[in-house]
Structure 1
Amino acid sequence: MHNLILYNANVIPLRDDNARTELVAISNGRISWVGEKSDLSLLKGPNTRAIDCQGYTLVPGFIDAHCHVLAYASSLMAMDCSPAAVRSIEDIQAALRKGASAAPIDQWVRGAGYNEFYLEERRHPTRWDLDKASPDRPVRLSHRSGHALVLNSLALSLAGITSKTEEPPGGVIERDIQTGEPTGLLLEMNDYMERVMPPLGEAQMAEGLREANRGLLSFGVTSVHDATPSNSLERWLAFRRIKEEGIFLPRVTFMIGAKHIQEFLEADLAVKGGDEKLSLGAVKVVLTATSGALNPPEDELWHTILRIHEQGFQVAIHAVEAQAVLAAGKALSQAIQRVPRRDHRHRIEHCSECPPEVLRELKGKALLVVTQPAFIYHSGERYLAEVPQEMQPWLYRMGSFAKAGLAPSASSDAPVVPPNPLLGLYAAVTRMAETGRLLSPEEASSPLEALKAYTLNGAYAAFQEKERGTVEVGKLADLALLDGDPTMVEPEHIRDIRVMMTVLGGEIVWQR
């Protein structure tokens, strides 16, 4: 018997024929019927709940294929220093003072989401700026990108960072040109800070996870891929507890940090272990060119990837800069040639800068790209101002990725930007920044390709396309009901579409 029937809907199934239907029935957490609204009388039983969708559009639940769940939850417990909340360093100081007055005396003061490009001063805050906000409490201010942070003087001292501190591999400690003293700005040093900074308390983290849960479900997101490079067995077990407690409902595909593979092998966890709620995914490797040189160097990268590939894991490489994307593509190609393996589905995460010669290197290798079209919306003005005009067409090339057979998946990289797929869809289709200015419109996706990037392609990138990503009988009943059709409305109106209802495993978990 069907538990729930959604009828009088505009169903976009995203299966091969993509024929529109009007009704979806659900039994025991899975889709049990897809048909016309005239089927309702045949399907409805005495205990069936039937909901008239009033012509709204029903799509597969959105999949955010690259985010950081605990960092997102933590950011929601920090003072909001995003461009939407602050306009100047003085505003940041005011926010941090407010945070210091509210937080227990033994806790660090945290701010999150600042972006120096949108500050009146057009610069990063310094330790001395943060000292004015809270001289006697340690302060950490996280950049919107997740790759930079600023500490005040007390926090630098507690972290053991002085003028004599050597930079960790890949990290950068900005120093005053005249004195050599740290300015407070740290680049690519999250791992270092994790070791020296106390984590959020359990109660605070639980509250942050509940907020993250509400936010994702309100955006129609039913699955996420957690791409945190420090993911360990300990963190996997923490996610298990979180799922058991029911405070975070979206399904989680948990990437393994490259340094932690052995822990999972010794724990006898299968390459694709877990269940429908929490499963193991790719092994996350970080490759950067922030300082102009590759970290790790190409030879080390190649051996790391080959080892992961030989062990049967899927590889997911963080690569932003063109130099890094090219090196990632070459290393993956060499590993596949050395040890041929069918259906490896190795991923390049971000692929932010992809000039033509790099795209040619990626094409035809059965590689996948997981990128962030919403960055065009949130940071488009910065790209237009700071990226040379001839390089702008290389950024987040959703259109070219699809044409090259890279099956692009879309994501938010939350907490970098809010995990709202409809803003990402809007940016992928229009290539418009928040201000309405265009960034290389020739790289636009079709609305249907953009929708696939947030659904079917995300499932495929995690070997889950048989379970989710389309509206078909037998698949998990993860659905989002929208008050507009993103494939039919005028592209500039996609961002105005609202999620009306989110269904996860056949249960209505959020409703407007």
Structure 2
Amino acid sequence: MITALKSKLRGWLIRPAVSAMLVWSAPVVAQDHADTIYINGVVRTMEAADDVRQAVAVRNGRILATGSTQDLLGHAGAQTSIVDLEGRTMLPGFIDAHGHLSMLAGTIDFANLAPPPVANVRDIPSLQSTLREYIKERDLAPGILVQGFGYDDAQLAEQRHPTRQELDAVAADRPIMLLHASGHLAAGNTRALELAGLLRDAADPAGGVIRREADGTTASGVVEEAAMYRLFALLPRRTMDERMEALGRAQDIYAGYGITTAQDGAASVEDYELLKAADEQGALKIDVAALLFFRAEWPNLATMPIGRQSPTRLSIAGVKLLLDGSPQGRTAWLKEPYHQVPDDRPADYQGYRQVEDDVLRQWIDRAAANHWPLFVHVNGDAAMQQLIDMTAAARSAGSDPAQRTIAIHSQVVGDGQLAQMKALDIQPSFFAAHTFYWGDWHRDVTLGAMRAARISPMRDALDIGLVPTIHNDTPIVPPDIMRLVWAAVTRTTRSGAQLGIEEAATPYEALLMVTRNAAWQIGEEQDKGTIAVGKEADLVVLDADPLTTDPAQLDKIAVARTISDGVEVYGAGS
């Protein structure tokens, strides 16, 4: 029903009557009664820093009017619901600038192996005990795969990955597969490695590494990047009903953090089919912007509505490319060696690329020819330079630019690269949560103090005139937008240190990057990102005002309500 309503509203938006709604004075005598009026709030429209209203009227899932409580009550009719915000702050619904909704749904029933504050795994013994408890609670039959997600060698007391023997100690008679917190590495026990054909004498795949024991041939248990796909093949196939139910729970998690538009940041064919089915069945509670993963075997990519405005909750925002790995996992591609290289790597180890230049150039040209937006995973400065150079080469050869190019993560951006990005209209989406979750690790282990202080260089990007966003990359970390805003503003690490505070954003800028800028990056700025007449009624209500709260307390601000297309999907009435 929501999908059908949204389709109808696209036509409503362009009616001339909308312009008449912009003209009103106290008291309003409204021709159109509102479905809901939110009153007595601090409504920050994000149209400008000082644009603050008291009330918002909603009709048919769109913003009917904004203004004072007294004026907007003139839009009330017999069936209008009046919601008293009681001084709480209303903002445009948060937009997930980059994350993986399907991946969250796919891992939602895995053993949670994350360190605090997400879960409680602090060392390898607690990882083992968590897995044993998971097997017991689930009553898993012998031989059934044990799945875990979120272990982090950066936070384990041992400062290393678990070995296959340590996972064998949990259960040697069944396969165990653990996905690293970065999403770019995995660990398996002996049985899992055997079943995946990785245990002995397996060759490293292109774009991946099988870490080995001292004999040089036997897998240690840890695999990187493309080598993970062999372990992923062990995952059990779930029914469509099971996947749909998990997708519903994943959406509830997003809504609980005030998110009204999620991203599915590397959708496979199966992921997109699930999202499309959910959209058609009215099972999407929030909007979803899908990015089609370039390595998936799409049967009809040329005919898909990539980068076009959608009349339903599901849109295809662009095509997702992957150029390198993760800095916390030390697989991101850097220009200079890692501060501390992983075991058994040469002293000049710099990570590695995922695609060759000619492959990247072909995708840039293809996107330009089809007017597809490109969303490109680049963490290291070498990967960023590859994107810059291949984009510049395509322009020089006369290729029209892609509709939009977004550099996802943009963690290690070297001197001069932001200016090159601006010249080529490559816009960054910063994984700003890194400063909290892995800031200490980057400073001490992966990057060293100087490079670590410049991760997510938001200040420089804003000052140079780029249009950046910030993101959590869920499920890598939870989709907690207010913690993300806090991290962008304070750049505080787990240990309480500040990491490169000169690259911090202001609270208003951080909010822009999860509302207005985020809508622009996915091409939906006409409908989302600010509270304005005619736009979708995607709204979030917070229990405190982020622009008057002590910045050190921004992560403590709670979400009271989340409204998507005028429907409350989280809060008192949901």
TM-score range, shorter chain: over 0.9
Q: Give the alignment partner of residue 145 of structure 2, picking from 108, 115, 126.
A: 108
Question: TM-score under structure 2 normalisation?
Answer: 0.85
Describe the SS at the equivalent of 2:355: coil
Question: TM-score under structure 1 normalisation?
Answer: 0.94
CA drift of 1:274 comes to 4.1
Could you give the per-residue CA deviations for residues 313-356 of structure 1, whole angstroms, max 9, x where no partner exists? 11111111111111112222332343454772211111110122
Contact 1:326–1:361, Cα closer than 8 Å, also in 2 = no
- Given residue 255 of structure 1, which amino acid in structure 2 is its aligned partner? L
- Given residue 188 of structure 1, which amino acid in structure 2 is its aligned partner? E
- Given residue 216 of structure 1, which amino acid in structure 2 is its aligned partner? Y
Residues 1:384 and 2:443 aligned together: yes
Could you give the per-residue CA deviations for residues 167-219 of structure 1, whole angstroms, max 9, x where no partner exists? 11111100002352101101103444444533445455344323322211110
Residues 1:210 and 2:248 aligned together: yes
Describe the SS at the equivalent of 1:416: coil
Counterparts of 2:158 and 2:285, CA distance in 1: 40
Q: Give the alignment partner of residue 69 of structure 1, picking from 101, 104, 128.
A: 101
Partner of 1:258: 294
Residues 1:79 and 2:79 aligned together: no
Partner of 1:39: 71
- Given residue 419 of structure 2, which amino acid in structure 1 is its aligned partner? R
Q: Give the alignment partner of residue 468 of structure 1, picking from 528, 547, 560.
A: 528
Counterparts of 2:486 and 2:221, CA distance in 1: 37
Query: What is the aligned-residue identity percentage?
Result: 29
- Given residue 466 of structure 2, which amino acid in structure 1 is its aligned partner? L
Counterparts of 2:481 and 2:107, CA distance in 1: 19
C-alpha root-mean-square deviation of aligned residues, in Å? Answer: 2.0
Counterparts of 1:153 and 1:320, CA distance in 2: 31
Structure 2 unmatched runs, 5+:
1-32, 326-330, 332-349
CA drift of 1:103 comes to 4.7
Q: Give the alignment partner of residue 99 of structure 1, picking from 112, 115, 134.
A: 134
CA drift of 1:297 comes to 2.2
Structure of greater Rg: 2
Counterparts of 1:390 and 1:342, CA distance in 2: 34
Could you give the per-residue CA deviations for residues 218-241 of structure 1, whole angstroms, max 9, x where no partner exists? 10011012111xx34443222111
Residues 1:279 and 2:315 aligned together: yes
Partner of 1:121: 158
Describe the SS at the equivalent of 1:301: helix
Partner of 1:178: 215
Counterparts of 1:32 and 1:339, CA distance in 2: 45
Residues 1:157 and 2:194 aligned together: yes
CA drift of 1:502 comes to 0.5
Partner of 2:29: none
CA drift of 1:144 comes to 0.5
Counterparts of 1:337 and 1:262, CA distance in 2: 29
Could you give the per-residue CA deviations for residues 460-502 of structure 1, whole angstroms, max 9, x where no partner exists? 0111000101000111100000111112211101111111111
Describe the SS at the equivalent of 1:399: helix
Could you give the per-residue CA deviations for residues 74-121 of structure 1, whole angstroms, max 9, x where no partner exists? 222111110121111111111111222315426311111011121111
Partner of 1:197: 235
Contact 1:5–1:50, Cα closer than 8 Å, also in 2 = yes
Seen in structure 2, the aligned counterparts of structure 1 residues 432 and 23 have a Cα distance that, compared at 3 Å, is same
Counterparts of 2:299 and 2:405, CA distance in 1: 21
Counterparts of 1:9 and 1:358, CA distance in 2: 42
Could you give the per-residue CA deviations for residues 227-278 of structure 1, whole angstroms, max 9, x where no partner exists? 11xx344432221112344554221111111234852336554552643300
Partner of 1:53: 85
Contact 1:103–1:109, Cα closer than 8 Å, also in 2 = no
Partner of 2:9: none
Counterparts of 1:262 and 1:212, CA distance in 2: 25
Partner of 2:466: 406
CA drift of 1:10 comes to 0.6
- Given residue 357 of structure 1, which amino acid in structure 2 is its aligned partner? G
Counterparts of 1:116 and 1:257, CA distance in 2: 28
Contact 2:58–2:65, Cα closer than 8 Å, also in 1 = yes
Seen in structure 2, the aligned counterparts of structure 1 residues 96 and 262 have a Cα distance that, compared at 3 Å, is closer
Q: Give the alignment partner of residue 411 of structure 2, picking from 346, 349, 352.
A: 352
Q: State how 1:252-401 maps to structure 2 within 5 Å.
A: 252-260=288-296, 263-265=299-301, 267=303, 269=305, 271-272=307-308, 274-288=310-324, 290=331, 292-339=351-398, 341=400, 344-386=403-445, 387-401=447-461
